[in-house]
């Protein structure tokens, strides 16, 4: 008699994994809808309101893209380290440090060509983010310390350090707010108005260009190939003559630099001043962006837009009396179901061959 068994396969294709993540996200949204219905709300009406506010007008689209940009940058930072089998839980701290370094250049550095100032700010932000992750990187490679714990704890140090700057030595003495610096003199310029995206800045082009550059590097360069091998099997990479520690260290430094650059773009393009709460948890949401994108740089662009839509949904829910933590709960649901979907994608239901019974009948 023919039966069925569940078998686990060691690896799955990228298409299957992406499909699993997509289904998981839909299931998470469905569960969230059931919870909202249990609270006496109307999930379909709320969903329509979210889509209308986010995609129904030019202002909504611009606001969505501005919110997605830092999420994509943090997602790229996390996805780069996931490629080598490491977790960057500290993108939030690297984001803060990068923004602080860029603000220091903008407020206290020499002022010349605006383009030169922006380039200097970007380099300072990348250096700050890379240095902030250098200690966890060295501890991981030399001492075997968990990079998850080290990068996570440094988030709080970075946040407290930034709060000290904006309430102490860098505080704007002429500002009304108690926790911010003066406005930076040379912000990122806006996109041309005839592009119908006049509210956006050139940082969006940097985000998209960086995602494309990383995708090309992973696919067409020796460096990207070695990173993939080091992430898949470090013993095999070492046997093939690759310097595994060097590649892991490079990946961690570059991941920190990308998150730091994201902080600079948020500072110079959107907020225009260093202030407490600049990140708004972008580094943590970036983990979900990277996971849903299956560590694909181009995939981070789409999942970053998805998570920006989720955060916008949280704002709509607040207008209906739902606590502000609802968006955080929804992102947690998406990550939970994504983890479940990734596991289930490794299992297959396969038929078994007929086996002769006790009476000898096949």
Q: Which domain holds residue 187?
A: 70-295
Number of domains in the chain: 1
List the chain pLDDT tens, one digit each, 362 residues. 567 777 887 777 777 877 888 888 889 888 988 888 887 888 888 888 888 888 888 888 888 999 999 999 999 999 999 999 999 999 999 999 999 999 999 999 888 889 999 999 999 999 999 999 999 999 999 999 999 999 999 999 999 999 999 999 999 888 777 789 999 998 999 887 766 666 788 999 999 999 999 999 999 999 999 999 998 899 999 999 999 999 999 999 999 999 999 999 999 999 999 998 898 899 999 999 998 888 899 999 999 998 998 888 887 777 777 777 777 787 788 888 888 888 888 888 877 776 555 454 44
What is the distance between the alpha carbons of residues 350 and 362, in angstroms, rounded to a whole number?
19
pTM of this structure: 0.89
Q: Is residue 221 one of the residues assigned to a domain?
A: yes
Q: Is residue 322 one of the residues assigned to a domain?
A: no
Q: Is residue 41 one of the residues assigned to a domain?
A: no
- Contacting residues for 120 by C-beta, under 8 A, at least 6 apart: 105, 109
| Nearest alpha-carbon partner for 283 in 151, 160, 180 | 151
* CB-CB contact of 5 with 350 (8 Å): yes
Instruction: Kindly report, residue by residue over 61-90, the tens digit of the pLDDT.
Output: 888 999 999 999 999 999 999 999 999 999
Q: Is residue 190 one of the residues assigned to a domain?
A: yes
Q: Is residue 31 one of the residues assigned to a domain?
A: no
Instruction: Tell the burial category of 329 from Cβ atoms under 10 Å away from its Cβ (0-12, 13-18, 19+).
Output: middle
Q: Which residue has the tokens 């994608």?
A: 345
Q: Is residue 305 one of the residues assigned to a domain?
A: no
Q: Is residue 328 one of the residues assigned to a domain?
A: no
Q: Is residue 354 one of the residues assigned to a domain?
A: no
Q: Which residue has the tokens 């700010």?
A: 121
Q: Which residue has the tokens 């996971």?
A: 291
| Nearest alpha-carbon partner for 87 in 234, 284, 341 | 284
Tell how far CA 41 is from the center of its chain: 30
Predicted local distance difference test score (pLDDT) of residue 361: 46
Predicted local distance difference test score (pLDDT) of residue 175: 75
């Amino acid at each position: 008699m023919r039966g069925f068994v569940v078998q686990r396969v060691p690896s799955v294709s990228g298409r299957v994994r992406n499909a699993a993540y997509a289904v998981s996200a839909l299931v998470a949204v469905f569960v969230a809808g059931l919870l909202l219905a249990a609270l006496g709300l109307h999930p379909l009406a709320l969903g329509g309101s979210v889509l209308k506010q986010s995609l129904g007008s030019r202002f909504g689209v611009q606001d969505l893209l501005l919110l997605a940009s830092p999420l994509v940058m943090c997602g790229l930072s996390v996805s780069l380290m996931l490629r080598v089998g490491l977790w960057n839980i500290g993108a939030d701290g690297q984001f803060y440090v990068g923004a602080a370094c860029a603000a220091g250049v903008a407020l206290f550095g020499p002022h010349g060509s605006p383009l030169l100032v922006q380039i200097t700010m970007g380099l300072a932000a990348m250096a700050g983010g890379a240095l902030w992750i250098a200690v966890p990187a060295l501890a991981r490679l030399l001492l075997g310390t968990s990079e998850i714990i080290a990068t996570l704890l440094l988030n709080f140090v970075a946040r407290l350090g930034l709060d000290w700057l904006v309430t102490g030595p860098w505080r704007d003495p002429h500002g009304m707010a108690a926790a911010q610096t003066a406005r930076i003199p040379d912000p990122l310029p806006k996109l041309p108005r005839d592009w119908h995206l006049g509210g956006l800045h050139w940082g969006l082009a940097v985000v998209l260009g960086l995602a494309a550059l990383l995708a090309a590097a992973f696919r067409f360069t020796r460096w990207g190939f070695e990173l993939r091998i080091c992430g898949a099997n470090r013993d095999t990479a070492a046997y093939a003559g690759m310097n595994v520690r060097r590649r892991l260290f490079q990946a961690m430094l570059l991941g920190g630099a990308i998150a730091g650059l994201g902080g600079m773009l948020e500072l110079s393009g959107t907020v225009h001043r260093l202030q407490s709460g600049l990140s708004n948890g972008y580094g943590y949401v970036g983990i979900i962006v990277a996971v849903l994108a299956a560590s694909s740089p181009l995939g981070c662009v789409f999942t970053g837009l998805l998570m920006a839509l989720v955060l916008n949904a949280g704002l709509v829910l607040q207008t209906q009396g739902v606590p502000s933590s609802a968006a955080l709960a929804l992102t947690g649901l998406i990550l939970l179901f994504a983890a479940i979907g990734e596991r289930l994608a490794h299992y297959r239901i396969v038929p078994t061959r007929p086996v002769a019974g006790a009476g000898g009948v096949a």
